[in-house]
Amino acid sequence: MKPGLAKYRTEFGSKTGDKETVLHTAANIVCGDVFLINGQSNAVATDFGNDTEAPPINEWVRTFGATAGDPNGSRLKLWATAQARSPDGQSEIGYWGMELGRRLVESQKLPICIINGAVGGTRIDQHQRNSSNPTDAATIYGRLLWRVQQARLTQGVPAILWHQGENDQGADGPTGGYGYETYREFFIDLAAAWKEDFPNIDR
């Protein structure tokens, strides 16, 4: 499919002699770009007032799955038009995720998929990958990676937008320090994990 602001439809079926049978139809298919958002509450970005202030839904901004923290909620296999906020996190990408998607659609003339895996009030050590089980649903990293894998997008992520650090300024981290001592090391490890699991990341 050619990337652009176009919707595709495809049909699969069988042919026996002169008889054709449609077995499955897929419609509203788009081809564009994908970005990931991760971090803490400023990346979740759903606290923007009442629902009447939410940015409008854009038919070209899509997402996959849900931001729910529990494994069952995060494992909903569903492509959807993105929303800034939803009661169960389904198709939720946050306020600035929606604004980012809108601006990219307008400037690049492409459909945009944004998958938001951020969790409010978290330290950087809580975002690390479980190297023995990268898609561990008990981890923030594992839930996001699982969603990207289920969406078949691991090879298509050019960038991750990371907004986190506020919760790494107290003495409640894993080392008992104030966060700045270990932040660089944790970020290097996290970026290395991203590069391994999303090998086409440029930024």
| Domain spans in the chain, listed from the N-terminal domain onward | 1-29, 32-197
Of the candidates 106, 111, 61, 103, the residue with the CA atom closest to the CA atom of residue 81 = 61
| Alpha-carbon distance values, 169 to 71, 147, 180 (Å) | 29, 30, 7
The amino acid present at 163, given as its one-letter code, is: H
Q: What is the CATH number of domain 32-197?
A: 3.40.50.1110
Q: How does pLDDT run across 70-103, given as a tens digit for each residue? A: 666 666 778 999 999 988 888 999 999 999 999 9
> pTM for the full model?
0.90
State both tokens at 145.
């990676």
Structure letter (DSSP) for residue 98 = H
DSSP string, 130-178: -TT-TT-TTSHHHHHHHHHHHTT-TTS--EEEEE--TTSSSS-STTSS-
Low-confidence ranges of the chain (pLDDT < 70): 51-52, 69-75
